[in-house]
Amino acid sequence: MEFLEKLGIQKENYGSSTGQIWNESKSETKLNIHSPVNGDFIGSVYQSSEKDYESIVDTAQKAFLEWRHVPAPKRGEIVRQIGLKLREYKHPLGQLVSYEMGKSLQEGMGEVQEMIDICDFAVGISRQLYGFTMHSERPNHRMYDQYHPLGIVVTVSAFNFPVAVWAWNAMLAAVCGDVNIWKPSSKVPLTAIATQKIIAQVLKENNLPEGIFSLIVGKGSTIGERLLNDKRVPLISITGSTAVGKHAAQVIAGRFGKSILELGGNNAIILTPDADLKMAIPAVVFGAVGTAGQRCTSTRRLIIHDSIYDKVKESLVKAYTSLKIGDPLDEKNHVGPLIDKSAVKLFQLALTQAKEEGGKIIFGGEVMEGASYASECFVRPAIIEAENNFKIVQEETFAPILYLIKYKGEVSNAISLNNDVVQGLSSSIFSNNMRETEEFLSAWGSDCGIANVNIGTSGAEIGGAFGGEKETGGGRESGSDAWKTYMRRQTNTINFGTTMPLAQGIKFDI
């Protein structure tokens, strides 16, 4: 395919790079990557060896010693150039995201746009790494705080956003003076390899050292565990399941490292009697079926007031009937495949469990068959009438399943249902009633890291800090002041007087 050629993707690819140089190790198992769109072989990737790992970390350490001396605005200039280079490759890289992962071409292109946007954002941040001053209680003293680079920042990304989440972390880390090692999902390593080759052009053009942006494709049981335990790595950002996050957090905390955890979501939209359904229905449908329900911010629960429940159900079934399922590279289609057959099996198991617990499937749930579906990874998005306390509803199923949940009375009852899950990522309410929306946003409202009014749960902008609470992990990436996570904070006190007064008025005369 032409886009593979433009991106430098070969039939056989190496999975370890320090920037421009690729480690040509072939000692580890080779990954064979097939597209979930049609099952076709795209390319293979040689996984990294432990020798490769040492080379990557050692090179990154040496690069940090140089990179931290570069003024932050100059670091921002490199990130600006990366953003320009990504603009040049937006279409082929978006195509690869769609083909390797299975999301629609529009979403694939949107993901690359997120990379471009975070580059632009990070360039601005490179001139705004502010500390602040404080008044000292001691005469002739000045106090202030400042932020310094941490060192090596590792980004462990998931299959559903194969490039954007890396950019959120790597671009901010870069302007902060850190270096980045990227461990992508083994399900979608080719997009990472393509991205590494794109930014290598910028590194070469600026005569930058190896190790500022590194890539390591490898097994979680070996390379992943070494990263978690490596004291040379002060910060690891992990996007993945709650189970993975729990293990990682314990290991990293055990060595007093820092972590950013972006884990599961069980996101709800509340529809009150004052909701504008013409706005709400499209938002619900995109939230539930976009990326075939494989976003951490996908809409999984729809909490509907009983007075509008039947109307909403009818509108949703009508909207779902019009969905076009098929090749995501065809922009006429709304829904592409799940990532692999294992994901299809989980989708089917969730439907079975929902029925066993008393749920009713009112639309969809089939695995798509026929000549139009070149792989066995296409499913028809499902709508299920359910109760919030069902065990399956309490879990996150990474698939296009939307649970309809009825509530009665005040909006506080809906908010209680919204909060009554262990995850706390994204949430939304549709209402034109100011009192309802303000209660939803209050301290006793939604307990999620993201709370929206009259927009859906997915499709976050890079300007806002992204992350959640409870078993979602509590980390924040991307916008706002998330840059502070990638730096160490230092308080400084300067005595410009001729005496040595102590704080709190303590006397110590010698």
Helix (H, G, I), strand (E, B) or coil at 484: helix
Specify whether 262 is catalytic: yes
Reduce the secondary structure of 297-359 to three states and give it as a string. Answer: CCEEEEEEECCCHHHHHHHHHHHHHCCCECCCCCCCCCECCCCCHHHHHHHHHHHHHHHHCCC
d(CA 206, CA 224): 31
Specify whether 296 is catalytic: yes
- Residue 406 and residue 417 in contact, taking contact as beta carbons nearer than 8 Å: no
Say if strands 465-466 and 477-478 run parallel, antiparallel, or are unpaired.
antiparallel
d(CA 267, CA 276): 20
d(CA 26, CA 217): 12
d(CA 244, CA 225): 11
Q: How far is CA 152 from the centre of its chain?
A: 19
Give the type of residue at 3. Answer: F
Active-site residue identified among 296, 377, 448, 477 = 296
Angle between helices 90-101 and 189-205 (to 10 degrees): 160
d(CA 187, CA 160): 9
Active-site residue identified among 114, 262, 396, 436 = 262
Which DSSP string corresponds to 90-117?
A: HHHHHHHHHHHH---HHHHHHHHHHHHH
Which DSSP string corresponds to 176-229?
A: TT-EEEEE--TTSHHHHHHHHHHHHHHHHHTTPPTTSEEEE---IIIIIHHHHH
- Residue that the structure tokens 């049981």 belong to: 221
Helix (H, G, I), strand (E, B) or coil at 162: coil
d(CA 370, CA 361): 23
Catalytic positions are 262, 296
